[in-house]
Amino acid sequence: MTKPLRVLLFSAAVACVGLGGAAHALGGAKSNGSSYLTIGASSNAYGISARIAQVDAPHILNGSVAGSVRVGGREGPLALKEWLQVGSAAFPVPGVTGEIYYEVALPRQYPTYHEVLTGVPLGTYTKVTVLEMRNRPNHWRVWVNHKPVSPPILLPESHDGLMATAKSTCFDGGTDGQCSDFPYSFRDVKIARAPGGGWQHLTG
């Protein structure tokens, strides 16, 4: 049984828990009001999947918290920002539980946020996946609980594989305050070694 990766506290020292041998910590930092902790595959991949649960309500006054899996980053054409991610997000609204979302960032465009599920109870694990489509180079889809929830999404020049990461983020809402709340648990983190699949556990 795969042990969960619990990202609950942020510190300058990065700890990898329950992921085993082919993963590495890409870092933790604060930038533009966001604090984050990122675990990544040691090489590029064609997709990433995980079961993610929000295990506590966000202890923040403004902004949001999120736990997600992603392909891409500053890796698109001409090293511009390009990514596709899916995960769980929560906001400091009393009585409102978490939601499942995906986000698309294309070169020279603002990222777009897409709500998939709302009212997800605390402690409920949701299987989330981003994966390049078989026989459709550069086209990716988002899956939630084994079902596609996005249309095919073109990520230019992405076919040879993108960086795959699992990430927890805390955004302070532009208040320039402390944001060190990471109430997420990750289980069964896997990466795809070929378009359409070829899954293996991310360990390390």
Residue 17, pLDDT score: 31
Query: Could you give the CA distance from residue 111 to residue 97 in angstroms, rounded to a whole number?
Result: 23
* pLDDT per position as a tens digit, 128-181: 999 999 999 999 999 999 999 999 999 998 987 789 999 998 887 666 666 767
Query: Could you give the CA distance from residue 41 to residue 190 in angstroms, rounded to a whole number?
Result: 9
Whether the Cβ atoms of residue 160 and residue 84 lie closer than 8 Å to each other: no
Q: Any idea how long the chain is? A: 204
Whether the Cβ atoms of residue 35 and residue 168 lie closer than 8 Å to each other: no
For residues 106-125, average pLDDT: 92
What mean pLDDT, rounded, does the chain reach? 80
Whether the Cβ atoms of residue 201 and residue 189 lie closer than 8 Å to each other: yes
Whether the Cβ atoms of residue 100 and residue 126 lie closer than 8 Å to each other: yes
Which residues neighbour 39 within 8 Å (Cβ) at sequence distance 6 or greater?
Answer: 5, 16, 19, 23, 24, 25, 26, 165, 166, 167, 189, 202, 204
Q: How confident is the model at residue 104 (pLDDT cuts 50, 70, 90)?
A: very high
Residue 178, pLDDT score: 64
Taking the alpha carbons at both ends of the chain, their separation in whole angstroms is: 15
For residues 85-101, average pLDDT: 86
DSSP class per residue in 73-124: ES-SGGG--EEEEEEEEE-S-TT--EEEEEEEE-TTS--EEEEEEEEEPTT-
Residue 115, number of CB atoms within 10 A of its CB: 10
Q: How confident is the model at residue 188 (pLDDT cuts 50, 70, 90)?
A: very high
pLDDT value at 10 more than 50: no
pLDDT value at 80 more than 70: no
Q: What percent of the chain has pLDDT over 70?
A: 75
Sign of CA dihedral 84, 20, 161, 50: negative
pLDDT value at 36 more than 70: yes
This prediction's pTM: 0.81
Domain boundaries, the chain: 5-201
Query: Could you give the CA distance from residue 11 to residue 152 in angstroms, rounded to a whole number?
Result: 37
Q: How confident is the model at residue 12 (pLDDT cuts 50, 70, 90)?
A: very low
What is the CB-side half-sphere exposure of residue 107 using CA atoms within 13 A? 12
Residue 34, pLDDT score: 74
Residue 69, pLDDT score: 97
* CATH of the structural domain 5-201, one choice from 3.40.720, 3.30.1490, 2.60.40, 2.60.120: 2.60.120
pLDDT value at 81 more than 90: no
Residue 108, pLDDT score: 85
